[in-house]
Chain A
């Protein structure tokens, strides 16, 4: 018993000591300075996660509270000259209590109002991983931890193992070993550049890759093709038709196999190819796929055809991994070339192409990597991606916040999505009109105003019209709605974003603040009198 008492005495003596207050306030100040710099470089969300809402910061706040509290307790019973002191410190304690209520029960979110569309969902700045199973029609909601760095979650929901969570990430290219290892599914990265422009391009034939085999860059079209086709591009051909087998990769020209080429009545060229006892009919100038008798596309046949002619007019670049082909108008001929010293000259606007990487064994995939977010001019320009790594039947997938991921095991479709938490309010708000006034003669905004109406099914008050603008919020049913943002949805049509707030600690914060100010004035008046008396 004595021991506990001694311990308490020590606790009281330490915490109530003004030197402890000095130390803890200094620590708090340093943490704040650190926080402001983090916020300016890495954005508010990162700073909140790293500093202001972190456990150690809250611990400092708790110690400040204890220090204030104990300093007051040891100075009881009240002495007249300390009345100001009591008032200030009581104000601080009440302020802390108010902030605690806000922290525990407060809601801070936003509601998006599309024009003339009723809305009742408040979005909260808290991320959820939602997993929906189609078979049982069940949905799991997993709150993602409020952290600033990559964290291991290690949870299993049915067949899905949830592994890592990245709160601030960026997609980066990673080359993954291709287990099927098919030579014709190669991938490459090129650098396309001239004196004004330079861009990295990654193309892949692998179905597992996040990269496509076609890309458009301004006027230039890039076609990534199996390497085996390059020989056929080099062959002289009268019709300019190249055919290839999807399975074997074997390729040939129409002339090599003496395939009959003819014209329809309207002058469209067509080609016949004998396959498994049937004739496949192609219109190479229209489509690479064979057509049925009713002119519908027959994608089940393994042959494809390409008419070089239709790629001669506009800039088209064929890439076969380590070789390229293009039509050179000045020579009036097709050029097939490889990369000499890793570099190839293109016939358009002094463009050159460099082969940076080529692989037949690995395919490129976009893999989220944790990064330090970067803020510039108030916008986050790096680190906007949130991602969760999961395993499904031993295969790794990433769920990203930019769209849902769908998986299937044959019977069950599983839909995963990272989305902010939502709260439903028991009434609905509709935006009638959003208005932005500008300063006369300029495009600078002078005001943002939302004209809304509110319909509450619980009361019979009918439609309530409201006008929300800056410095004029709407208070309804414990919530306060503030004009915060807007965006354009159509010509002269704007959607409005209101921030929504519920603060159960508001009264305490106001009371505490008032006591602090009055208390400090009182304190100095008492001190003055005291000094006058002693003088």
Chain B
């Protein structure tokens, strides 16, 4: 009852001719091609990207009923013309949100029709919650989903480039308030040619980028590479696969750079992407000098981890390209400072991979005393690269901060945590020099040290979440970070104790 009431209100809001047949809607939806330019989120992008990102945001899945996202978006957009209503599944995440909406814990979505009737209920629940906890944040996110859906259903979410009296400008379909679909069709048809005439068709690169799924293919190649490395005696196949994977990632990043016009290191998604890329390059460089397979394994392994996260940790890493906050709009500092820091994290990640591999081998009693010491020097090599890069990165950050905020150092959590990482590795380096830290402790501490990196990289944003570096903050990472710490500590506890392995060492 309530649903129909709301739909009726929506109908009234929207001047339309209700005599639209399903066939006409289908015709409009075929006109609404993937490559039509739209203005959304402060940027011009292809329609396909808008549709895909919206469907993903609303449902948590990349498509609805295996339809093309463009078609789903279009049908939602035009459902008021046809008076048909789609009960669109909206993603519900938090356990408490599910309880609030009287859902079972295993249900992950709620139909849009029912959800829309509960909009005000959700709003009042948000207002009544005093503490800004994960439940409130999730409800706010849900409220944003509802608002996004309403924006689509009232045709505000789609903008087309149209002729006005004097110039050409962006208008949303609702602003145009066309009485019939014919005019809508005309506007959509003209949109692309009008826009390309005025501004060129550079925006189409994003369509190529999104449709290429280049990082998925890179993941596939890297996986093949790691299998070949493990199975084959020499490294050639692994190196070839690595180079191929790197080439694909480079292509992907170059596309991102061209689309966004800035270095690809401005949010969590991009830093993960860049660290995986950087680690593999560093690993290949060290491999060239040290000729040890373990670097190839560690580099590829870390690269795969990063690609996996980009692929599957969508809740934490957002792959969409959005405009930068003003303070970061300096390409020189952004590309030098952030790149150096992320590369240092990549080098430290390699040391972490090698240390963990060593720990496993120790536990399985597969190491001779000589190998054991040799691995230590390998880890040390990575740490050295990491330390130099990190020190340089922190200092570059200081210089940037001095240049744009007026202070070299301000005890902001992000900068303080990067210093903590540096100091932790300083303790390892100095402790080793003093013989306090023997080979065994060194390996354990190197494996543990990456937890400080994770804290500086993710923890500040997901756990501490305050300070000037607040641009990177988003939800959903705390669980990821917690599980990372738990797994790493478990590995240390299982493989760490000296009694668990028999290596003839004289330390």
Contacts and interface: CB of A to CB of B under 8 A. Distances in A.
13 contacts: A17-B434, A19-B436, A39-B466, A40-B465, A40-B466, A48-B411, A52-B411, A376-B132, A441-B42, A444-B323, A446-B326, A471-B327, A503-B402
Contacts of B434: 17-19, 21-22
Contact of B387 (A44, A377, A520): A520
B323 A439 contact: yes
Nearest to B385: A524
B14 interface: no
A128 B16 CA distance: 65
B422 to A, nearest CB: 9
Interface in B398-425: 398-399, 402-413, 416-417, 419-420, 423-424
Contact of A524 (B132, B388, B466): B388
A22 B470 contact: no
Contacts of B388: 517, 520-521, 524
A513 B398 contact: yes
A517 B406 CA distance: 22
Interface stretch (A29-37, A201-209, A270-278, A284-292): A29-37
Given A473-B403, A517-B395, 10 more contacts: A18-B430, A36-B460, A39-B466, A52-B411, A439-B43, A439-B323, A440-B43, A441-B39, A442-B41, A509-B398
B37 to A, nearest CB: 12
B466 A32 contact: no
Nearest to A18: B434
A84 to B, nearest CB: 11
B329 interface: yes
A482 B405 contact: yes
Interface string A315-353: 000000000000000000000000000000000000000
Interface residues of A, number: 56
The 5 closest A-B pairs by CB, nearest first: A439-B42, A501-B406, A40-B464, A18-B434, A513-B395
Interface string A5-38: 0000000000001110110011011001101110
Contacts of B170: 440-441
B326 A500 contact: no
A48 to B, nearest CB: 7
B366 to A, nearest CB: 26
Contacts of A403: none
Given A40-B465, A441-B40, A524-B388, A25 B403 contact: no
B469 to A, nearest CB: 11
A22 B43 contact: no
A276 to B, nearest CB: 57
A375 B413 CA distance: 14
Contact of B391 (A35, A39, A482, A516): A516
B467 interface: yes
A510 interface: yes
Contacts of A102: 408
A213 interface: no
Contact of A36 (B132, B402, B417, B470): B417
B470 A378 contact: yes
B339 interface: no
B301 to A, nearest CB: 25
Interface string A190-234: 000000000000000000000000000000000000000000000
B427 interface: yes
Interface in A151-192: none
Contacts of B39: 440-441
B481 interface: no
A471 B417 contact: no
B333 interface: yes
Nearest to A29: B423
Interface string A108-128: 100000000000000000000
Given A22-B436, A39-B411, A376-B132, A33 B405 contact: no
A25 B330 contact: no
A503 B430 contact: no
A499 interface: yes
Given A439-B43, A470-B326, A471-B330, A517 B431 contact: no
A298 interface: no
Interface in B290-332: 323, 325-327, 329-330
A445 B391 CA distance: 32
Interface of B: 39-44, 132, 159, 170, 323, 325-327, 329-330, 333, 384, 387-388, 391-392, 395, 398-399, 402-413, 416-417, 419-420, 423-424, 426-427, 430-431, 433-434, 436, 460, 463-467, 470
Contacts of A47: 411
Given A44-B467, A521-B388, A524-B388, A22 B430 contact: yes
Given A378-B466, A441-B159, A473 B43 contact: no
A32 B430 contact: no
A144 to B, nearest CB: 21
Contacts of A501: 406-407
A19 B427 CA distance: 10
Contacts of A470: 326-327, 329-330, 404
B413 A39 contact: yes
A470 B326 CA distance: 7
A447 B409 CA distance: 23
A448 interface: yes
A499 B426 CA distance: 34
Contacts of B325: 445
A126 B47 CA distance: 53
A37 B464 contact: yes
A506 interface: yes
A480 interface: yes
Contact of B408 (A19, A25, A503): A503
Contacts of A17: 434
B433 A448 contact: no
B406 A506 contact: no
Contacts of A22: 427, 430-431, 434, 436
A506 B436 CA distance: 37
A399 to B, nearest CB: 29
B175 to A, nearest CB: 12
A117 to B, nearest CB: 23
B423 A25 contact: yes
B424 A440 contact: no
A35 B416 contact: yes
Contacts of A48: 411
B420 A32 contact: yes
Contacts of B333: 471
A73 to B, nearest CB: 17
